[in-house]
Amino acid sequence: MGTNAIHQDAPLLADRARNAVLEALRVLSASKARDGRVLLEEGRDIKLEADLLLSRELTSRLTGATGIRCVSEEDLESHGIPETEPIWIVDPLDGSMNFARGLPLYGVSVALWQNGGPSIGLIHDMERHRTLCAWNGRSWAGETALTIGTVKAMDRAVLATGFPLMMDTSSNEVTAFLAFARRFKKVRMLGTAALSMAWVAEGRLDAYFERDIMVWDVAAGVALVRGAGGTCIMRPGSHTMSLDVVAANPELTAAMQRVLGWR
């Protein structure tokens, strides 16, 4: 499917992606995996039965409903992202630790990625039963268009951030991170990049920044932020498929880039 065809079919593809997510979540709610059963807990990483169930259901349903290939984290880490072929990139359960501990901050993230970026993005907030969608350069919550926040100064802004699995947490890197974070009015760590970026797109939070966050964690959020009138900068991270990401309104993004020394 070419870029023009995706542009024309974007509302239909987004609707089918939303249906696939809701159908997969119905399967989860009827299974024992809904209790947050842990399959693997290694270092700072955690893998739940719910992760695998949702991944399996979403991969099958997205490809079946749209004819577009859906790739897993393992596929992306092994083979990378195709340069031109459109693919669905899915984080089936962003915020797995929150889900396992009963903290109400987790969701499903789905993005259609082509030519270096997302053309469609969808984030479903599982606790609040809300779906935010982006396509053709606009972002929506139902029929309401999303609008990025208007705070332009870092010392007046609320920053969403975190310590991703792959982030370098050596003393020098953490010191640099704290020096950056202390420039903001407030800092929030939600434990889910997807909802963090969704709420930046809605204007609940003003900015997002993380180093070495994985592409599947932020792909849909990038589409939402851009569709709400924001700017999202992605730079290659230190690991395969990881990114350094800044997102906010254009003025605040520019201020953050200057402090970070990004050109």
The one-letter amino acid at 50: A
Q: What is the pLDDT of residues 52-73, one digit of tens each?
A: 999 999 999 999 999 999 987 7
Q: What is the pLDDT of residues 154-178, one digit of tens each?
A: 999 999 999 998 899 999 999 999 9
Q: What is the rounded average pLDDT for all residues in the chain? A: 94
Confidence band for 74, pLDDT divided at 50, 70 and 90 = low
The one-letter amino acid at 211: R
The domain limits of the chain are 3-145, 154-260
CA angle 108–121–163, rounded 5-degree value: 55
DSSP symbol at 240:
T
What CATH architecture does domain 154-260 belong to?
A: 3-Layer(aba) Sandwich (3.40)
Query: How far is residue 176's CA from residue 174's CA, in Å, rounded to a whole number?
Result: 5
Q: Is the CB of residue 135 less than 8 Å from the CB of residue 13? A: yes
* pLDDT over 80 at 117, yes or no: yes
Query: Which class would CATH give 3-145?
Result: alpha beta
Query: How far is residue 220's CA from residue 133's CA, in Å, rounded to a whole number?
Result: 8
Range 84-108 average pLDDT: 95
pTM, 2 dp: 0.93
Q: Taking Cα atoms as reference points, which of 254, 248, 138 lies closest to residue 199?
A: 248
* pLDDT over 70 at 99, yes or no: yes
